[in-house]
Amino acid sequence: MSIIKTSVNRPVTVWMFMFAIILFGMVGFSRLAVKLLPDLSYPTITIRTQYIGAAPVEVEQLVSKPIEEAAGIVKGLRKISSISRSGMSDVVLEFEWGTDMDMASLDVREKLDTIELPLDVKKPLLLRFNPNLDPIVRLALSVPDASDSELKQMRTYAEEELKRQLESLSGVAAVRLSGGLEQEVHIQLNQQKLTQLNLNADLIRNRIAEENINLSAGKVIQGEKEYLVRTLNQFNSLEELGRIVVYRDDQTLVRLFEVANIIDAHKERNDVTRIGDQESIELAIYKEGDANTVTVARKVTAELNKLNEDNNTELKVIYDQSEFIESAVSEVTSAALIGSLLSMLVIYLFLRDIIPTLIISISIPFSVIATFNMMYFADISLNIMSLGGIALAVGLLVDNAIVVLENIDRCRSLGMNKLDAAVTGTKEVAGAIFASTLTTLAVFVPLVFVDGVAGALFSDQALTVTFALLASLLVALTTIPMLASREGFKSLPPLMEKVKKPKPETKIGKLKYYSATVFSFPFVLLFSYLPSALLTLALMLGRLTSWLTGLFMRPISSGFNWMYHKLEVVYHALLALALRLKVLTIAIALFVTLGAASLIPKLGMELIPPMNQGEFYVEILLPPGTEVSETDNVLRKLALSIKDRDDVKHAYSQAGSGGLMTSDTSRGGENWGRLQVVLADHSAFDTVANVLRRTAMRIPELEAKIQHPELFSFKTPLEIELVGYDLTQLKSTADNLVDALSDSDRFADINTSLRDGQPELSIRFDHERLAKLGMDAPTVANRIAQRIGGTIASQYTVRDRKVDILVRSEAEERDQISDIDSMIVNPDSSHPIALSAVADVSLKLGPSAINRISQQRVAIVSANLAYGDLNEAVLEAREILGQQTLPTSIQARFGGQNEEMEHSFQSLQIALVLAVFLVYLVMASQFESLLHPLLILIAVPMAVGGSILGLYITQTHLSVVVFIGLIMLAGIVVNNAIVLVDRINQLRQDGLDKITAISNAAKSRLRPIIMTTLTTALGLSPMALGLGDGSEVRAPMAITVIFGLCLSTLLTLVVIPVLYALFDRKEFTHKEVKESNTLVNSGGQA
C-alpha cells in the first residue's frame, strides 16, 4: 500500500506522526544555540608570550620567530602571523574550516615544548579565542564619587571575588580588569642618605626580603604531645616594616624609615575607566572560541544578580553583545511569521474559502517545526541566515500543497468521491512535485565548492531551506490528502468503537456490570466523549471562523477578484500581441535584461553589509609619551560634548590599554583611549558621530576614528601589505603611502602598523671605562632599573592577600632626564661616579610593534571607507600604489576584506554556474528534451536582471548575501517556466496546434503562477523592508529574490511562450497524451 493511500485510510496514524514530529521539533528548537551569524572567523589559536623589558626587535628575533618556525608545520594551518611589541609576542595561527581544534591545540603545545626560549621569557600561553574581538559583556563596578581608597578596595574586590567567580563559568575564556587602583607599598629611598651611609638599593631590598619571612622550624615532642615550631616574622603593619634595621655599626642602628619614605600607595596607573564622568572598574568578559555568545551572556547575567546581593557597590552591565543578537534573531522570526500570514492571505484571496486555505497553510507551521528538529541534529544554530532560510522557504512551503489540493479538486469535479479523489489526485502529481522540489534543491549541491565566509553563510541557509522543502513535500503527500478527504464532513466518526454487551441477569453479574460501568466512566469520558466534544467544538469554531472571515474579507476578496480579472484580460491581449510580434518581444526582453546588467558597475561591492548595533566607539590617539591622565581628560571632553543629548543612552570610556587583550598594534598604550557610545535612537548615529568629530577637531594633536563593535573578526576593508626586511625602509614606504591615500577623500582612518613607539632614553655603556673603574654593565644596568622603575623586594600580607613592596628612588630623583645623567652608579663607593661618565644617554624612538605574515616582516597600511563601495576603493588604491616608487626590496600586496571578497565571489560565481547546469540536467531528465530546458533557463538571466534592478533601486551593494540570493533564485524562477512549458506540451499531446496550445496553457497556468509568485514575494517582503536589528544583512537577499522573481515571472509569461513558438519543432502524436503525465498541474512550484 502506498504512503498516500495509507495516509488517507489511517488519519489517526497521520495525526500521531505529526504530533510526534511537532513534539521533537519543539524540543530541538529549545536546544538550538542562538547566534547572530554562523561562525565566520577561521578557527584561531593565539600564542601569547611575555618577555618583560624587551624591545620589539628583541621580542621578534628571540620569541616570535622561533615560535613561528615551530608552529608553522602544524597540520591544518591556513595562515600564520605574529605581532611583536615591547615585552609581548602574539603569534596567531589560523586553521582551515573543520579543523579539530582540540587536537590542533595539543599539536601546537607539543611543538612549543621543542623550542628553547630565553630564561627571562615566561611560558607561552595558548588562547583558544581571538583576542582582537570585542568582549561579549562589559561590566562596571562603581560607587558614587569614589576616593582613592575606595578605588583600591573595588579593584581588590574585583580581582579577588568577581574575576574568580566569573572565570569559573562555562564558556568564559577570560575576564580582564581595567581601571581603579591596585594597592602597592612604596619604599621611596633617599639616595643622598644612602650615599652618606654607603648603602645601596640592593642591600635595602635584600634586608626587606630577609626580614619578611615565616619558616617552619620542625617539631617538639613533650610527653605525649607534639608541638609544631614556626618562626613568625612576616610584617603585620607598615610600622613593623619601617622599623627593620638596614644598617648597623658599633654605635648606631639605622632603620628603614630613616632612609626611606614608606607609603601605602598604588601601582602606576596605565588605565582609567569611566561611566560618564564617574570612575569605575571595568570587567571585560571574553568567551571561548566555540562557546555560544547568548548562552555565556545569560550565565554572566544570572551570576551578576547573585553578586549584587552580596555587595554594597553597584555592579551593572554596560555592554551586552547578546542583546543585539537576540533582537536581530527575534526580528527575523517576526518577519517569517508576518510573511507566513501574508502568504496565507494570498491563498485565501485566490481560493475564497477558509477551509482549503487552512488545509494548505498547515504545511507552513508543520514544515518549520520539523525543520527545527533537523537543524538540531545537523548542529545548525538559530541565526540570521538559518532563520532567513526559513523565511525564504515560507513562500515555497505552500506550493506543493497548492498543487496537490488543486488536483484533488479537479478529480472531485470529475465525479470521484472524496477518498478516491484524494488518493488519485495526489498520486497524479506526486512525481511532479517531487521533480519540482528536486529542481529547487539542485542549486544547493554546489555548496561543497563554496568555502570561506561565503561557504559559512551559505551552508546554514541552504540546509535550512532543504529541510523545510523536504518537510513540505512530506506534508503534501500525507497530511494534505488526508485532510482533503475529510473536508466538509458533517458528522464525526466515533473515536472508540462501542461494543454492545448483554446485561447480566444474576445479582453478582449485575453488581460487576454496574461497578465496571461506574469505574470505567471517567476513562470513557476522557478518551471518548471529551475528544469528540472537542473535535465538534473545533469544527464549529472553524465554520464560525470561515463565516466571519468571509464576511469581513468579502470586500477585499471582491476587489482582488476584480483586479485579477482585469489582469487576465490584459495578459491575454498582451500575449496575443507578443505572439504576433515575436522578434520585437524578444528584443524588448533582451533590452530590459541587458539594460539591468549595465547597472552592475554602479552597484558597488562589499563582503558583508555593515550592521548598525545602536553602539559605536571613538578611538583616540595622542602623541607618543602622553600620560594616561591627559588621555583621560581628552575622553572626558568628548563625553561631555554628548552628555545632555536625548538620543544618547550612556557613554563609557577607557584611557590606556589596561585590560585590553587585543594584539592590534593601533590600540593600547597610555596615549590611546576609547569612548563607547550607546544610542537611545539607532538612527542618530550620523548626528552624534558628527558632534564627536567636530569636538575632536578642536583638540590639538589628536587622531580620532569612529568604529563599530566587532561581532566577528573581519579585517579592515582595505589593507595593503608591504613586505620587506629593513624596518626603516618599510616605515618610510608605509608613511608615504599613508600620505598618498590621505589625499583621497574616499579613505578614512588610515593607519600603518609601523608606528613610532614610546619615546625612550637609550643608554649605551662605555665598556672600557667601566672595566677601568672596576664595574660591569649588568650591575650598573640593574642599579639604574632599581632606582627608576624599582624592584619588588617582597610582599606584604593584608587579610590573606599579598601586596607588593616596591623599592625605588624618590620621585624627585628620577622624574627628569637630567636626573638620569647625574645618577650615581656606585653608591657604595667613597668616590661617586655619575652615569654620564660611563655611558652615553640619548633620546630615540623605536617601532611600537613589528608585524610578520607567513614568516616575513610586513608593514600593513589599513583604511576604512568614507563613502562608496570596497571594489571602487581597491581600484583607486591600486592606482595610487602604482604611482608610488617602491624600493626593489619591498613588495606590495592587497589583503583585508578585499582578499576574502575576491575569494568568496569567485567561488560563488562557480557555484552559480554549477547550480544552473544542475537545474538543466534535472529538467532535461524531466522533459526528455534538450531544447525545452534551454528555453526554461531563459528565466534565469531575466531573474538576475530583475535582481540587479532591485539592488539599484534600493541602493544595495553586491555582497556575499546577494550572491546567495542569486543562487537560490536560480532554483526558484525556473519552476514557473516549467509549469508553462509542461502544460503547453500536454495540450499539444491532446491534439491542439502549437499557437492554440500556447494560448490555452498561458490562460490556465496564469492563476497558479501568479499565486505562488505572490506567496513567495510577500513571504519575503517583511525581510526586504530592512526594519529592526540585523536588517542590513537579511534585506539584500530578500530584495534579490523578490525583484528577480517578480520580473522573471512577468517576462516568463510572455517571453517563454514566444520562444517556444519560435524554436520548438517537435511533433506530438495522440499516443503521447496517455504516456506523459509527469508534470500535470505542477502549478506554481516556486
pLDDT tens per residue, range 12-46: 888 888 888 889 988 888 888 888 777 777 778 88
Q: Which of 521-530, 772-781, 915-924, 1002-1011 has the lowest mean pLDDT?
A: 521-530
CA–CA–CA angle 303, 304, 305 (5° rounding): 90
Total Cβ atoms within 10 A of residue 116: 7
* pLDDT on residue 499: 45
The full set of domains in the chain, from first to last, is: 3-36+325-492+569-606+901-1075 (1.20.1640.10), 44-129 (3.30.70.1430), 183-266+758-847 (3.30.2090.10)
Residue 353 sits at the vertex; the CA angle it makes with 348 and 354, to the nearest 5 degrees, is 75
Tell me the per-residue pLDDT of 225-261, one tens digit each, with 9 for 90 and over. Answer: 888 888 877 888 888 888 888 888 777 788 888 888 8
Among 112-121, 466-475, 599-608, the minimum mean pLDDT is found in 599-608
Closest by CA to 455, choosing from 963, 1081, 882, 1052, is: 963
CA gap 233, 796 in Å, rounded: 11
503 pLDDT above the threshold of 70: no
Of the chain, the percentage scoring pLDDT greater than 70 comes to 88
State the pLDDT at residue 389.
Answer: 82
Quote the pLDDT of residue 491: 37
Longest dimension (CA), the chain: 134
Instruction: Output the CA torsion sign for 1058, 1064, 1065, 1069.
Output: negative
Quickly state the pLDDT bin for 1086 (edges 50, 70, 90).
very low
Average pLDDT score, the chain? 81
Q: What is the mean pLDDT of residues 572-595?
A: 89
793-802 pLDDT tens trace: 888 777 777 8
* Residue 968 scores a pLDDT above 70: yes
- Tell me: pLDDT of 66 over 90: yes
Rounded Cα gap, residues 880 and 882, in angstroms: 5
Burial 174-192 (b: 16+ CB within 10 A, else e): bbbbbbbbbbbbbbbbebe
Beta bridge partners of 138: 284, 319
Q: Tell me the per-residue pLDDT of 722-760, one tens digit each, with 9 for 90 and over.
A: 999 888 888 889 889 988 988 888 887 788 888 776 677
Q: Tell me what pLDDT residue 490 has.
A: 39
pTM: 0.74
Amino acid of residue 1010: I
DSSP 410-450: HHHHTT--HHHHHHHHHHHHHHHHHHHHHHHHGGGGGGGG-
3-class SS shares of the chain: helix, strand, coil, % to 5: 55, 20, 25
Q: Which residues of 995-1019 are buried (b: 16+ CB within 10 A; e: fewer)?
A: eebbbebbebbbebbbbbbbbbbbb
Q: Which residues pair with 735 in a beta bridge?
A: none
Q: Please tell me which of 70-79, 609-618, 844-853 the model is most confident about, judged by mean pLDDT.
A: 70-79
**Long-range pairs for 915-919: beta carbons < 8 A, 24 or more residues apart:** 915/442, 915/443, 915/444, 915/445, 915/446, 915/967, 915/970, 915/971, 916/940, 916/970, 918/442, 918/443, 918/445, 918/446, 919/439, 919/442, 919/443, 919/970, 919/971, 919/974
pLDDT in tens, 530-548: 666 766 776 677 666 666 6
Asked if residues 981 and 932 have their Cβ atoms less than 8 Å apart, the reply is yes
In this model, does residue 102 exceed pLDDT 90?
A: no
pLDDT in tens, 777-793: 888 888 787 777 778 88
Measured CA distances, 347 to 351, 361, 433 (Å): 6, 8, 18
What's the confidence (pLDDT) of residue 435? 75
Contacts of 621 (CB under 8 A, 6+ apart): 666, 671, 672, 702, 703, 704
CA–CA gap between residue 389 and residue 400 (Å, rounded): 18
pLDDT of 850 above 50: yes
Give residue 67's pLDDT. Answer: 93
Q: What is the pLDDT of residue 554?
A: 67
Q: What is the mean predicted confidence (pLDDT) over 94-98?
A: 80
Q: Is the pLDDT of residue 1077 over 50?
A: no
Between residues 945 and 790, which one has the greater pLDDT?
A: 945
Rg (CA), the chain: 38
How far does the chain reach from its first CA to its final CA, in angstroms?
A: 30
Long-range contact set of residues 302-309: C-beta below 8 Å, sequence gap at least 24: 303/165, 303/166, 303/169, 304/139, 307/161, 307/162, 307/165
Q: In this predicted model, which residue has the larger pLDDT, 700 or 490? A: 700
What pLDDT is attached to residue 534? 65
Q: What integer pLDDT is reported at residue 526 of this predicted model?
A: 57
